[in-house]
């Protein structure tokens, strides 16, 4: 199961529970399924555009626990940062950690599922995105800390995109520093699979 915000959502059809959207979740699921058809894995995408970690908490029962996934992949945090700058509606890092921890504790307690935690990320395009680092970096550290604490797979998307942006301008990877282009989503899918498939 893929959970998150618009970066995971990418136009999925909410009326079709099997629709995977058009981004990294779909790409990773398709490549995994083509490589390992014998595993007969079913993938779900429950990302919703605009969500913050508190929104995941509010819908965790129907959109995660009720589906009883064996693996839960979470990418959340950029809206917790973005809305500080766009709407003067910040998410304090302590609240971010508390809500995120709740999600993981409930999954562990009720499902015993494996966890995949993905770093939120931002690239310095447009230039004002550089200011976001002061808010986002502590949240990335929370994700890393929780990955260690809950023995989760960590997908280091922030580092992946920083490295990629050293090879080609950030605009190639994300149109606004946040939402990946098709190349950005393909990069995410490849790194997600590299981290998860061992």
Q: Is 89 a catalytic residue?
A: no
In this prediction, residue 182 carries a pLDDT of 98
Name the nearest CA neighbour of 23 among 42, 40, 9, 2.
9
Dihedral of alpha carbons 138, 115, 25, 98, sign: negative
- The secondary element (H helix, E strand) that includes residue 154 is strand 153-155
**Structure confidence by residue, pLDDT tens digits, 63-82:** 999 999 999 999 999 999 99
Q: Is 19 a catalytic residue?
A: no
6, 80, 99, 158: the catalytic one is 6
55, 63, 137, 176: the catalytic one is 176
pLDDT band at 53 (very low <50, low <70, confident <90, very high): very high
**pLDDT average, residue stretch 123-133:** 95
Q: Is 176 a catalytic residue?
A: yes
* Position 34 pLDDT exceeds 90: yes
- Integer CA distances (angstroms), 55 to 5, 171, 179, 181, in order: 9, 29, 19, 25
pLDDT band at 124 (very low <50, low <70, confident <90, very high): very high
Residue that has been written with the tokens 């990302």 in this structure: 47
9, 63, 179, 194: the catalytic one is 179
pLDDT band at 97 (very low <50, low <70, confident <90, very high): very high
Q: Specify whether the CB–CB gap between 53 and 76 falls below 8 A.
A: yes
- The secondary element (H helix, E strand) that includes residue 96 is helix 93-110
Estimate the crossing angle of helix 182-196 against helix 157-165, to 10 degrees: 130
Name the nearest CA neighbour of 139 among 152, 124, 153, 122.
122
Judging by beta carbons within 10 Å of its beta carbon (0-12, 13-18, 19+), is residue 167 exposed, middle or buried?
Answer: exposed
Name the nearest CA neighbour of 117 among 76, 83, 88.
76
CA atoms within 13 A on the CB side of 198: 5
């Amino acid at each position: 199961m893929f959970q998150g915000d618009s970066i995971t959502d990418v136009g999925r059809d909410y009326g079709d529970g099997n629709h995977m959207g058009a981004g990294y979740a779909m790409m990773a699921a398709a490549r995994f399924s083509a490589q390992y058809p014998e595993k007969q894995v079913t993938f779900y995408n429950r990302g919703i555009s605009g969500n913050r970690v508190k929104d995941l908490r509010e819908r965790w029962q129907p959109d995660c626990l009720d589906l009883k996934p064996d693996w839960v992949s979470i990418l959340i945090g950029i809206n917790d940062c973005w809305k500080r700058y766009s709407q003067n509606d910040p998410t304090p890092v302590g609240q971010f950690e508390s809500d995120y921890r709740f999600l993981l504790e409930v999954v562990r307690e009720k499902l015993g599922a494996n966890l995949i935690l993905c770093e939120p990320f931002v690239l310095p395009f447009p230039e004002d995105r550089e200011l976001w680092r002061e808010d986002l970096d502590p949240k990335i550290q929370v994700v890393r800390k929780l990955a260690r604490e809950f023995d989760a797979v960590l997908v280091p998307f922030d580092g992946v995109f920083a490295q990629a942006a050293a090879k080609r301008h950030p605009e190639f990877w994300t149109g606004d520093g946040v939402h990946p282009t098709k190349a950005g989503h393909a990069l995410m899918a490849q790194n997600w699979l590299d981290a998860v498939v061992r």
